[in-house]
Amino acid sequence: MNTGTPGSASTATPAGRTDLGRRIAARREELGLSREELGERCGSDATYVAYLEERAASPAIGSLLRLADGLETTVAELTGATADHPPGRGTSLRDAHLVALTYDECRHLLSTHGIGRVGVFSTRGPAIFPVNYVVAGGEIAFRTSEETAIAGAAGTEVAFEVDHIDEVMHTGWSVMAVGEAKGITDAAVIKRLDAVARSLPWAGGDRTHWMKVTPTRLTGRRVVHR
C-alpha cells in the first residue's frame, strides 16, 4: 500500500485456527465460559464449539446467530464484518497498561515485510503515508513514485511506524523507527529488494522508486493486561 499490512472439550487458551475460531475462543474466554457452557447457551455441545474454534469451518447463519447470542455479541463482530471500521472502538480493560518494548522485540515485530506508515515533513506540512515495506539487513525499504512527498523527503529525517491492533483481545503494539530517508539507485540493491519483496505496492501504479530508512532510534510499546 502506498497513497503518496477438535481438540479437548475445554482449554485455557483460545486455539482458534481461523479468524472466526479465534474470535469465538477469545470472546468465550472473556466471558469466562467453558466450551460446555457455551454449547448449552447456543443449543450445541462442547465438541462442536471445539470444532469451530480449532478448524476451518463455515457454520450456517442460524448457527452463527445462536453463537453470537450465546457470546453476547453480534454476527458482524464474530465474522469480522466490522473490519473496515477504524480499530479501537471497544472499551479498554480495567487492568490494561503500557509496557516498553526492548530493542530486540522491536526488531522482531518489524519482521521482514508488511504495511507501515512513513511520517514526513512535506511542502504542505506534516504528512503520513502507508507503504508496503520489507526489512533488509538493518534497513527498512519501500517503494513509491518519484513524484510523491515521500520521495521528496529524501535526505531528511523521517519516522516509520508499524503496529497491530487486536480488537478481540483489546491489546496492541506499535514500533517506531526514526532515521534519514534515502533514495536507492544501486541496480544490484534494487534487484535484491525486488526479489525479497512479497508483493507489489497495493496502491498500484508506477511505484518502482525504492527508498530506505536506516533507524537511528527504535522504540515500541505494547498494551497488556492480565
Q: Any idea what the CATH number is for the domain that residue 120 is in?
A: 2.30.110.10
How far from the centroid of its chain's Cα atoms is residue 55's Cα? 22
Q: Over range 117-132, report the average pLDDT.
A: 92
Q: Over range 61-81, report the average pLDDT.
A: 86
Q: Which of the pair, 9 or 84, is modelled with greater confidence?
A: 84
Is residue 45 domain-resident?
yes
pLDDT higher than threshold 90 for residue 87: no
How far from the centroid of its chain's Cα atoms is residue 90's Cα? 17
pLDDT higher than threshold 50 for residue 71: yes
Based on the fold, state whether residues 60 and 150 are members of the same structural domain.
Answer: no
Give how many domains the chain has, as a whole number.
2
Sequence-ordered list of residues with C-beta below 8 angstroms from that of 47, at least 6 positions apart, any chain:
6, 9
pTM of the model: 0.62
Q: Any idea what the CATH number is for the domain that residue 57 is in?
A: 1.10.260.40
16 pLDDT tier (thresholds 50, 70, 90): very low
Give the separation between CA 81 and CA 93, rounded to whole angstroms.
Answer: 23
Based on the fold, state whether residues 145 and 50 are members of the same structural domain.
Answer: no
Q: Which domain holds residue 190?
A: 97-224
Give the separation between CA 213 and CA 175, rounded to whole angstroms.
Answer: 14
SS3 content of the chain, % helix, strand, coil (to 5): 30, 30, 40
pLDDT of residue 15: 44
